[in-house]
Structure 1
Amino acid sequence: MDALIEVTPTVRQLPFPVGHVYVVALPDDGYAVVDTGIPGSAPAILDALARLGARPGQLRQIVLTHYHLDHMGSAADLAAATGARVLAGALDVPYIRGTAPEPAPAFTPAERSLHEGIMADLGAAGLPPLRPTEVDVALHDGDTLDGWGEPVRVLHVPGHTPGGIALHLPASRLLFPGDIIGTDPDGRRAVLGPGNVAREEAIASFRRLAALDDVDTVCVPHGVPLRTDARAVLAAATPEKDWL
């Protein structure tokens, strides 16, 4: 497993081949994670916490930006191992709990090819089955998260999934956008995340996030975090043309 990458003094990226996890230090000697990777990733996340000097019980929150398997994949195992609360966007809760079938993405041909390749690779690697998990807190647009030591605004950003959320930390000028925003391997170009259930809604959500004034760092789940000229990179993005 790759080393933890420091993004800010309190945020570290745990890179995975599919779906990065972000570990956030909380002021009470606890931690939160944003997303949990594919099924089977819990041991690597627990190891990352141990490298930070944390016991499993110090994980306080598991925030899921949406229900896809590379984001909620290890939430059930991680919650069972740590007792952490699981938080997610209200409209995605039925899919995370497994009480409703997931809406199918409306793939473009380029997106379908990408998705099929990723799923084939995961299948060949022996991907464990996805386990649903209980959600302790259903989040809505305008909610704030407790315990992070600074204001954390929840933004409802539908389109990739019906209830996708982003987290905006104005004081740190930092954004967790979920899969609404991805980057190229060099981190110089921002793109619309592929595989959306409602492409026009996803583009509108991208534009909403790109218009935020107080963002210098964008912690994307796929690609390289934007840490230099983030606002200019977002302003130059053309999500309407991506994946066509």
Structure 2
Amino acid sequence: MTPDGVHTFSFEFEFGGRELTVHPTAVETDHGLVLLDVGLPGAAGQLRDALADVGRSLDDLSMVLLTHHDGDHAAGLAELAGETPLIVVTHEDEAPYVDGRRHPVKADPDDERYPPETVDIELTGGETFHTAAGPMWVVETPGHSPGHVALYFPDQRFLVAGDALTNDNAGADSFGGPKPHFTPEMDVAIDSVGRLAELDVETTHCYHGGTADAGTERIAAIYDERRS
């Protein structure tokens, strides 16, 4: 169950010759909405419509917190920043890829990258944000990317996993670990799954696949299976 004060969305894009659906999250705070990940170019219009559905607008948005710098999470950031003033936040190990000092890890070096954007706050892990759903903890979950983070709401037992976990896998059970093809350091990523398994989780929201009725026990099972 999604906690009060947390809004999850479904955005659809054309990406790599296929339809891509992603699931950003907006979190209410006393200082405006915090958007967890953006999406690809075109996300600003979809976000405007999604916020209107919950009685909000782009003017209510104060911050974007990127779980990591991959284009399907961050490529729409510059467009959104052109629509409304934003504080941009990401882990310090992701910041050089977002602001243009480094080329995105998984992109071809010869390909044009998405427009860089200034990072205003660099996280180191362990930070707490105060939200309408209670504290939101920043949990370091590297592996899928160098400074990937997840966001955990301990009062709600709710986890926003980014790409550290996925909910669009083939088979009877769609909930699973990070995708090997898109995860350069899989051993590190599985260690991060183990870190998430230490949390008291009831519900997990994944950027790919959306919200799953899956918590600590399921996450621990993925860790046990994938670490062997």
Settle same-fold status: TM greater than 0.5.
yes
Give the C-alpha shift of residue 155 in structure 1.
1.3
- 1:9 and 2:4 matched: yes
For 1:97 and 1:49, the matched residues in 2 are separated by 26
Q: 2:144 aligns to what SS in structure 1?
A: coil
Give the C-alpha shift of residue 86 in structure 1.
1.0
Q: Which has the higher helix share?
A: 1
The residue that corresponds to 2:15 in the other structure is: none
The residue that corresponds to 2:161 in the other structure is: 177
* Superposed counterparts of 1:93-112, under 5 Å: 93-104=95-106
For 2:208 and 2:226, the matched residues in 1 are separated by 15
Aligned CA RMSD, in angstroms, stands at: 2.3
Q: Which has the higher strand share?
A: 2
Gaps of 5+ in 2: 12-19
- 1:88 and 2:79 matched: no
The residue that corresponds to 1:235 in the other structure is: 220
Aligned pair in 2 of structure 1 residues 87, 187: CA closer, same or farther (>3 Å)? farther
Q: 2:78 aligns to what SS in structure 1?
A: helix
Instruction: Select 1:199's aligned residue among 186, 189, 193.
Output: 186
Instruction: Report sequence identity in percent.
Output: 31
Contact 2:144 2:178 in 1 (8 A): no
For 1:232 and 1:149, the matched residues in 2 are separated by 23
The residue that corresponds to 2:208 in the other structure is: 222
Q: TM-score, normalised by structure 1?
A: 0.78
Contact 1:92 1:163 in 2 (8 A): yes
Contact 1:76 1:134 in 2 (8 A): no
Gaps of 5+ in 1: 1-5, 106-127
- 1:60 and 2:57 matched: no
Output the amino acid matched with 1:232: E
Q: 1:191 aligns to what SS in structure 2?
A: coil
Output the amino acid matched with 1:218: T
Give the C-alpha shift of residue 165 in structure 1.
0.8
Output the amino acid matched with 1:207: G
Q: 2:151 aligns to what SS in structure 1?
A: strand
* Superposed counterparts of 1:17-96, under 5 Å: 17-27=20-30, 30-96=32-98
For 2:57 and 2:9, the matched residues in 1 are separated by 17
